[in-house]
């Protein structure tokens, strides 16, 4: 059996037998180990038996909320999740990003596309141990403390600021690049986002929510600055502790 990403264990969660069969056949041919589930109970049973290295999760399971299931998985494990769904409305992309989804594919899809996305996500996770932040890394900006190891943001008052996964990742990206102008597509790539369109405003909404938490009531944001027609930049000094 091939080594590396091809030998990874993949859990397919979908209530359509045809979709599971198609993915099972294609992934098996590539050397992946496969497990399947048609509902949330089956998914959790499979995870309890052996934590997979990646999950493909249909967000529209019969009688179940796929996003709720994704939250349950994310609460107990950092296993990569590729969300697959027939729904194409923006709210799913927004919530998927909030949950820390690694990719998002809309049905109908080509099986080669799914294989390419799976390989890309697994390669990224294989690289992460070498690229991860040192456990002691902490950053300070105007009294705020961003702790990378604890994944916490502490306000100048000493209280913890409640951030979603996506908000924390976005703030980390900006804090580590103070003064640098980051185009929206670069931010999307750094957030591990895929399947974006040029008119996708998900990043703008994410920035707006983060701004409300770190500079509430500000009519002219100065911490996260908007660079018109380009993207965003962290506009204040950052000190590494």
Fold of 138-240: Arc Repressor Mutant, subunit A (1.10.10)
Place of tokens 């992460």: 128
Please report, for the chain, the start and end positions of each structural domain, with discontinuous segments joined by +: 4-131, 138-240
**55 band by pLDDT with thresholds 50, 70 and 90:** very high
- Please say if the pLDDT value at position 15 is more than 80: yes
Q: Which pLDDT tens digit goes with each residue over 111-130?
A: 888 898 898 888 877 755 44
pTM of the model: 0.58
Instruction: Determine contact, residues 103/194, Cβ cutoff 8 Å.
Output: yes
**174 band by pLDDT with thresholds 50, 70 and 90:** very high
> What is the edge-to-edge ordering of all strands in the sheet holding 224-227?
182-183, 231-234, 224-227
Fold of 4-131: Rossmann fold (3.40.50)
Strand runs (DSSP E) across the chain, as ranges? 9-13, 33-37, 54-58, 81-85, 103-106, 138-141, 144-147, 152-154, 160-161, 182-183, 224-227, 231-234, 239-240
- Please say if the pLDDT value at position 194 is more than 60: no
**51-60, 91-100, 191-200, range with the lowest pLDDT:** 191-200
Identify the pLDDT of residue 127.
Answer: 54
């Amino acid at each position: 059996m091939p080594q590396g990403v091809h030998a990874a264990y993949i859990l397919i969660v979908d209530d359509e037998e045809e979709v599971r069969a198609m993915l099972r056949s294609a992934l098996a041919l590539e050397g992946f180990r496969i497990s399947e589930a048609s509902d949330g109970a089956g998914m959790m049973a499979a995870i309890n038996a052996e934590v997979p290295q990646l999950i493909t999760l249909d967000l529209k399971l019969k009688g179940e909320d796929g996003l709720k299931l994704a939250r349950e998985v994310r609460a107990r494990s950092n296993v990569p999740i590729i969300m697959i769904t027939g729904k194409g409305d923006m709210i799913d992309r927004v919530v998927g990003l909030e949950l820390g989804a690694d990719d998002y594919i809309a049905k109908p899809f080509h099986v080669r596309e799914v294989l390419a996305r799976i390989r890309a996500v697994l390669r990224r996770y294989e690289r992460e141990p070498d690229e991860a932040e040192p456990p002691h890394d902490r950053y300070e900006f105007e009294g705020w403390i961003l702790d990378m190891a604890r994944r916490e943001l502490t306000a100048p008052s000493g209280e913890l600021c409640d951030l979603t996964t996506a908000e924390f990742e976005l703030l980390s990206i900006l804090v580590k690049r103070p003064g640098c102008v980051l185009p929206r597509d670069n931010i999307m790539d750094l957030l591990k986002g895929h399947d974006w369109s040029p008119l996708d405003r998900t990043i703008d909404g994410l920035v707006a929510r983060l701004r409300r938490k770190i500079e509430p009531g500000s009519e002219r944001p100065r911490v996260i600055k908007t660079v018109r027609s380009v993207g965003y930049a962290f506009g204040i000094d950052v000190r590494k502790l």
